[in-house]
Amino acid sequence: MVVLGIESTAHTASVGVVGEDAEVLSLASDMYRPPSGGIHPREAANHHVEVLPSLVGQALESAGVKPKDIEAVAFAQGPGLGPCLRAGATVARMLSLAWDRPLVPVNHCVAHVEIARVLSGLEDPLLLYASGGNTQVIAYGRGRYRVLGETLDIGIGNFLDKLWIGLGGTFPGGPAIEAEARRGTELLPLPYSVHGMDVAFSGILTATLALHAKGANRPDLAYSVEATTYSMLTEITERALAHRGRDSVVLGGGVACNERLRGMVKTMVESRGGTMFAPPKSLCVDNGAMIAWTGRLAFRAGLTSSVEASAVQPRQRTDLVATPWRND
């Protein structure tokens, strides 16, 4: 028996089918790319409504399963953009009713964490979750995923996206800045914004755009932005490791696709005698497989929802979600 998961929190509509031991049987995704500027929630939601039915069909077909093989239908309940969340939740409720299978709500952030954790094979690692809307250093403790440090303003991915659009590019900014940064040579002075265990990015955004207005070139700006912000993330991750007495780190979220971030965290962790793991990129970005896997964990622990109680929660926080499958 397998679990089907639906992701639709922001720009990506995705359906995944997952079996035992987080075996990803299929993953069908379609990302909304605005022609210019940032994401408009309602336009992204319209995109998701259009593509989700055929993504469900594709996911079932390439997994080689029929609706009768599906054990439960999981969906991302939050956090995310309200209209986008509602698109995925509506499809999940409909499938749950049509197939007569339990409906399992999943927290999107916990899903990024759980897919990275199971693939790492590490029992209790520290987690650096770096994505569009979120930037958190997370450790499990006393029945919850605890946020030890996080962004005080925007997520690092949103920072990279806004910056790239400000430099004349289009969404998504992270991969484009990574490519541009490879041609950069000069480290330009930018604010280094670490506040205890937390970080902030909006001042760096303003400072980078100001340097650009004064004539700094894009490769050097990209190179400097990556060096500065990924150092900040590496620093708070190292401090959390020291405080928690852990030695291993797992990366998750779309920005964890970045080779430079992976390299910096790996160097830091290995210098402390630990190991660093990052999932394949298709499972770092938003994807239905992580929702299916976490849905499977939740379902096996007895967490299901009636349709009536399955309202989306756009501001649901990582540290407020019950995780009864972790009984350590």
List interacting residues with ligand ATP (CB under 6 A): 9-10, 12, 80, 108, 112, 131-134, 155, 157-158, 160-161, 172-175, 178, 253-255, 257-258, 285-286
- Interaction partner, residue 258 (Fe ion, ligand ATP, none; CB < 5-8 Å by kind): ligand ATP
Burial of 289 (0-12, 13-18, 19+ CB in 10 A): buried
At its nearest, how many Å lie between ligand ATP and the CB of residue 225?
Answer: 10
SS3 280: coil
Kindly tell me which of 131 and 193 has the beta carbon lying closer to Fe ion. Answer: 131
At its nearest, how many Å lie between ligand ATP and the CB of residue 319?
Answer: 15
List the beta bridge partners of residue 74. 5, 104
Query: Is the CB of residue 237 less than 8 Å from the CB of residue 247?
Result: no
Cα separation, 227 vs 322, whole angstroms: 36
Cα separation, 232 vs 229, whole angstroms: 5
At its nearest, how many Å lie between Fe ion and the CB of residue 132?
Answer: 6
At its nearest, how many Å lie between ligand ATP and the CB of residue 135?
Answer: 8
At its nearest, how many Å lie between ligand ATP and the CB of residue 48?
Answer: 12
Kindly tell me which of 260 and 300 has the beta carbon lying closer to ligand ATP. Answer: 260
- Interaction partner, residue 133 (ligand ATP, Fe ion, none; CB < 5-8 Å by kind): ligand ATP
Kindly tell me which of 19 and 32 has the beta carbon lying closer to ligand ATP. Answer: 32
- Interaction partner, residue 155 (ligand ATP, Fe ion, none; CB < 5-8 Å by kind): ligand ATP
Kindly tell me which of 241 and 255 has the beta carbon lying closer to Fe ion. Answer: 255
Query: Is the CB of residue 72 less than 8 Å from the CB of residue 102?
Result: yes
- Interaction partner, residue 198 (Fe ion, ligand ATP, none; CB < 5-8 Å by kind): none
Question: What dihedral do alpha carbons 302, 303, 305, 310 form, nearest 10°?
Answer: 180
Kindly tell me which of 19 and 79 has the beta carbon lying closer to ligand ATP. Answer: 79
* Binding residues vs Fe ion (CB under 5 A): 131, 286
Cα separation, 228 vs 1, whole angstroms: 46
At its nearest, how many Å lie between ligand ATP and the CB of residue 222?
Answer: 10
- Interaction partner, residue 161 (Fe ion, ligand ATP, none; CB < 5-8 Å by kind): ligand ATP
Alpha helix (H) ranges present in the chain?
41-63, 82-99, 108-120, 156-166, 173-181, 202-213, 218-244, 259-271, 281-284, 288-300
Kindly state the DSSP code that residue 318 receives in the 8-state scheme.
G
